[in-house]
Amino acid sequence: MSYKPLTTIIFDMDGTLANTEEIHRQAFNQAFTEFDLPIHWNAPEYAQLLSVSGGRQRIYRYLKSHSINLRRDKRRFAREIHQRKSEIYREKLDAGHLILRRGVLRLIREAHRNNIRMGIATSSSRSNIDTLVHNTLGIRGLDYFDSIVSCDIISEQKPSPAVYQYALAELGTNPENCIAIEDTSNGNRAALAAGIKTVITTHEFTLDNDFSGASLVLDDMGEPEHHFNVLSGNSHEHHYLNLELMKKILQDQSPVNVQSPWFPAYAACCK
């Protein structure tokens, strides 16, 4: 067995770095109200809607599949609603409605001290990334990340691996030396399709997702004084997610399932 050093960690953002999904849900509903739409997404419904990656696509598909009488182009209208929703979301973040999930700051600092390269690969926008990072990691928080790939760069949404393939290329990293941290089924599938092993940290909106192929599924990253709960996978007798555990995950013999309908791969889809 050849040794595979851990050189890189790629984080999803929403739901992974911070519990943002409830804030997103509230922002969607406020935008619907402002546009006089008879739509209100409750928490169980929103959990189901998260199977569609990307907020604009989520709105568009909802408008298409429901009997909402509109005398305008639904795709263009979805874009307008989503633009306002994103403004509301960032206003809520700026108002201090957010903290990082347990263990995130500790792991980022540990990786930084040990010269592990880090990236963010998300279906969210760059402006949302900047707002979240500035409000949780501080004004220099973006300096932790050597690659930030958003929907402004890659239009294909997860479970397409395009966002991860772009991040790997930008970081100059082989997938076998990288671990992705995700929170959704689509994110898990995207990373696996790019050949990257995954660690999942679930939350209230993704507890029922299918995380087949993930190396480890947890309720959060844990802390030395507050252990995580293992939902599936091998934690190698660790009680919180750290570099030592992630290095052991890379050495596991379980292959990454790279079979995916999402082709062409990076070189074509990211032109």
> Would you kindly state where each structural domain of the chain is located, as residue ranges?
8-18+100-269, 21-94
Q: Return the CATH number of the domain spanning residue range 8-18+100-269.
A: 3.40.50.1000
Domains 8-18+100-269 and 21-94 share a fold: no
Catalytic residue from among 12, 130, 146, 210 = 12
Q: List pLDDT tens digits, range 72-87.
A: 888 999 999 999 999 9
Omega prior to 264 cis, within 30 of 0: yes
Mean pLDDT (the chain) is 91
Report percent pLDDT > 70 for the chain. 93
Strand order across the beta sheet in which 197-201 lies: 147-149, 117-121, 8-11, 178-182, 197-201, 216-218, 230-233
The answer to whether residue 210 is catalytic is no
Q: List pLDDT tens digits, range 208-256.
A: 999 999 999 999 999 999 999 999 999 999 999 999 999 999 998 766 6
Strand (E) or helix (H) holding 116: none
CA 161 – CA 269 distance, rounded (Å): 10
- The CA-based angle 136-142-144, given to 5 degrees, is 100
Q: Does the domain made of 21-94 have the CATH classification 1.10.10.10? A: no
138: pLDDT strictly greater than 90: yes
pTM score of the predicted model: 0.86
Q: Estimate to the nearest angstrom the gap between the alpha carbon of 217 and the chain centroid.
A: 14
Query: Cβ distance 217 to 233 under 8 Å?
Result: yes
> Token pair 């189901």 is at which residue?
48
The answer to whether residue 12 is catalytic is yes
CA 10 – CA 8 distance, rounded (Å): 7
260: pLDDT strictly greater than 90: no
In this structure, how many other beta carbons lie within 10 angstroms of the beta carbon of residue 5? Answer: 11
Q: Estimate to the nearest angstrom the gap between the alpha carbon of 52 and the chain centroid.
A: 13
